[in-house]
A and B are shown apart, each in its own frame.
Chain A
Amino acid sequence: MFAALGDPTRREIFERVAARPQSVGELAGDLPVSRPAVSQHLRVLKDAGLVSDGAAGTRRIYRMNPQGLDHLSAYLNHFWNESLAVFKAAAEQPTKERRK
């Protein structure tokens, strides 16, 4: 799921959609990216379950998918993995050198 956010443009699109539901046209108008490219990025985000879409008249409106996304879990998983790596190094120090 989160590999979908590895691309900077896709992340930017995701953050804009998360901030406000909007259409492909609106996104393309605000970004230096073509409409087909925006559509392609949205397709990846949708396939990853990060955004969902719905019809509004003749347009499709994209919004963040609150069900499919668990930012907090992903973030904390990352946080703890990083922190435990540092913890491991501290615990394996032969002498008790305390920084603070």
Chain B
Amino acid sequence: MSTQSVAVPVRTSIVVEAPRERAFEVFTAEMGSWWPDDKHILQGELAGMVFEPRTGGRIYDHATDGSECTWARVLAYEPPDRVVFTWDINLRWEIEADPGRASEVEVRFIAEGDARTRVELEHRGLERHGDGWESMRDAVGSPNGWHSGLQALAAYLAG
């Protein structure tokens, strides 16, 4: 069964009480300071997250044992306006090796004052991750797949 529909992009935004330059820097260079601790794919103990600040750069985690895990490619780096990067993570929070099956994230930083910034995020191309039923069925049943995602979602909705 084929379900080749185009997924609606995920869009969200938040207003931060910080200048645009600062917001951009924290989102990119200091990404490791706010990225969820349980959402690293690395095998070893996490030493840090690196955001290479240029178009064509990588975003990767590195471990204390020296190993690395690249989970994104920077498609656009335009401080302090905009950044776009790929999402090379599959439905099971594993690295997606096929660039054709990666989605992408665009983040825009819009000044709403000298010290206030609206950050708009769009995560699009979600349909590239899989064609519906088969991958979803498998993902729902995997330990770290949508089962835990659903639980997190339900807890979020209940709270």
Q: What is the interface of chain A, defined by CB distance below 8 A to chain B?
A: 2-3, 5-6, 8, 11, 15, 18-19, 64, 66-67, 69-92, 98-100
> Per-residue 0/1 for B7-29: is the Cβ within 8 Å of any A Cβ (1 yes, 0 no)?
11010101111100011001100
Asked whether B99 is an interface residue with its Cβ less than 8 Å from the other chain, the reply is no
Cβ contacts under 8 Å, B14 to chain A: 84-85, 87-88
Can you name 17 A-B pairs with beta carbons within 8 Å? A5-B150, A6-B154, A6-B157, A11-B154, A19-B137, A66-B132, A70-B8, A75-B146, A77-B10, A78-B153, A80-B12, A81-B12, A82-B156, A84-B119, A88-B14, A100-B46, A100-B47
B contact residues, range: 35 or more
**In the assembly, what is the distance between CA of A94 and CA of B77, in Å?**
25
Cβ contacts under 8 Å, A89 to chain B: 34
Q: Are the CB atoms of B132 and A91 closer together than 8 Å?
A: no
> Apart from A2-B153, A64-B140, A80-B123, what are 9 other A-B pairs with CB-CB below 8 Å?
A11-B151, A11-B154, A15-B140, A18-B136, A73-B10, A76-B123, A88-B16, A90-B30, A92-B17
User: In the complex, how many angstroms separate the beta carbon of A68 from the nearest chain B beta carbon?
Assistant: 11
Cβ contacts under 8 Å, A99 to chain B: 32-33
The 10 A-B pairs at the shortest CB distance, nearest first, are namely A66-B133, A91-B26, A86-B34, A87-B34, A75-B149, A66-B132, A90-B34, A91-B18, A84-B14, A91-B16
Task: With CB as the reference atom, state the residue of chain B lying closest to A96.
Answer: B30
Task: With CB as the reference atom, state the residue of chain A lying closest to B126.
Answer: A72
Cβ contacts under 8 Å, A85 to chain B: 14
Partner of A100, one of B49, B119, B158: B49
User: Among residues 60 to 117 in chain B, which have CB atoms less than 8 Å away from a CB atom of chain A?
Assistant: 91, 117
How many CB-defined contacts (below 8 Å) exist between A and B? 123
Q: Are the CB atoms of A78 and B156 closer together than 8 Å?
A: yes
**In the assembly, what is the distance between CA of A87 and CA of B33, in Å?**
8
**In the assembly, what is the distance between CA of A18 and CA of B136, in Å?**
8
Asked whether B36 is an interface residue with its Cβ less than 8 Å from the other chain, the reply is yes
Task: With CB as the reference atom, state the residue of chain A lying closest to B140.
Answer: A18
Asked whether B141 is an interface residue with its Cβ less than 8 Å from the other chain, the reply is yes
- Contact flag A19-B10 (CB < 8 Å), given A88-B16, A92-B16, A92-B17: no
Cβ contacts under 8 Å, A18 to chain B: 136-137, 140-141
Q: Are the CB atoms of B32 and A80 closer together than 8 Å?
A: no
Task: With CB as the reference atom, state the residue of chain A lying closest to B152.
Answer: A78
**In the assembly, what is the distance between CA of A15 and CA of B123, in Å?**
26
